[in-house]
Amino acid sequence: MPGVKRAAVLLWILAGCARPPSAQECDAMLDRYLGMTEPSPPPERDARIAERRASLAYLDAEKKCTATTTRAELSCAMKAPSANDWEACFDVPWAW
């Protein structure tokens, strides 16, 4: 029986790893990128980020994220110290 329990736990872990990111996780990841790529000072920066977040490109990126981004890519992007490192987390570069 211990082998069966181990196999069940392994399958449960693998199922969690295969689960695509939620819209909220994708928003957090994309917002992180926007924050790294917007050089304006705070008041202008917030307005520019809000503008970019409302764009069709952002909505497309969010859809792409929830459909094709892996857990490993999400984790990598959330830890990336720079926009270049963030972009390097993905097999296919993000187009904005």
pLDDT in tens, 81-96: 999 999 999 876 555 5
Q: Give the residue among 52, 63, 55 at the shortest CA–CA distance from 20.
A: 63
The whole-chain average pLDDT of the chain stands at 83
pTM: 0.73
How much is the average pLDDT of 31-48?
Answer: 91
Q: Name the band, by pLDDT with cuts 50, 70 and 90, for residue 9.
A: very low
